[in-house]
Amino acid sequence: MSSTTGAADGPVRTEVRGRVLVVTIDRPARRNAVDRATADGLSAALDRLDDDPDLWCGVLTGAGGYFCAGSDLTANHDYVTPRGGEYGVVRRERRTPLVAAVEGFALGGGMEIALACDLVVAASDARFGLPEVRIGLLPTCGALFRGPRALPVNVARELVLTGEPMPAARAHDLGFVNAVTEPGGALDGALALAERICANAPLAVQACVAAIDDALGGDTLGWAATEAAKGAVLRTDDAQEGVAAFLGKRPPTWTGR
């Protein structure tokens, strides 16, 4: 199986393994949180995945034992790309299947990136969570409508309303995670799943990806509801307090205003 490796000095690395493009978020010092440069790197990698007819599947993972901690709060929401939307990923209209390989934590926007993928492979010690309410915010990158599609509705509500993470085993039992591996084995497990996909006719696979997305009814209403909730929350004092407390590494003091 042939492989070629792309540039390794930026926040996103790519590697071709046969027909599979491996995309790695490489900011372990920031737990692979997404800033402007990372979003641009992810967008460019996924543009390549969809535009190169020799690539039949993608695998998205993170370096350093983390998948992704979501938004880099110091980026001030500057992580939207023209083709992929937030993080270069979550509003993308893909036809080439994408597998998430999750080690460590997939939190906030990191879980929303996983929800935007077609399949998920996770290490047994991985955790999935939506902790935004703990800092006075809410998930804004698809979890409010993709979560209830991928999980039972009340489980999705639990994740959103408590902010507490879910272990990989429970996510697997509930059908969100396709396969669980030993710690450190998520990438190999995702590559094995990608190879199984690549054994099939690529145009048929791409048509299936598009048809399943269409059958789920599209995301227009979900994005509209998310934007309405976001607009209401971001104007509150609690939202400002939550972010300040997080950055200051102190408990927040909520006022309900």
Is residue 132 annotated as a catalytic residue, yes or no?
Answer: yes
User: DSSP 3-state assignment of 152?
Assistant: coil
**Choosing from 86, 103, 112, 182, which is the catalytic residue?**
112
Closest CA to 121 of 2, 20, 229: 20
**Choosing from 86, 103, 132, 158, which is the catalytic residue?**
132
Which amino acid is it at 224?
Answer: A
DSSP β-bridge partners for residue 81: 85
Element (H, E) at 127: strand 127-129
Which amino acid is it at 90?
Answer: V
Chain-centre distance for alpha carbon 40: 15
- Edge-to-edge strands, sheet with 57-62: 3-5, 12-17, 20-25, 57-62, 98-102, 119-123, 179-181
Measured distance CA(63)–CA(28) in Å, rounded: 6
Cβ 117 vs Cβ 60: under 8 Å: yes
Rounded to 5 degrees, what angle do the CA atoms 247, 251, 256 make? 100
Handedness of CA 80, 86, 87, 88 (dihedral sign): negative
Q: Give the active site residues.
A: 112, 132
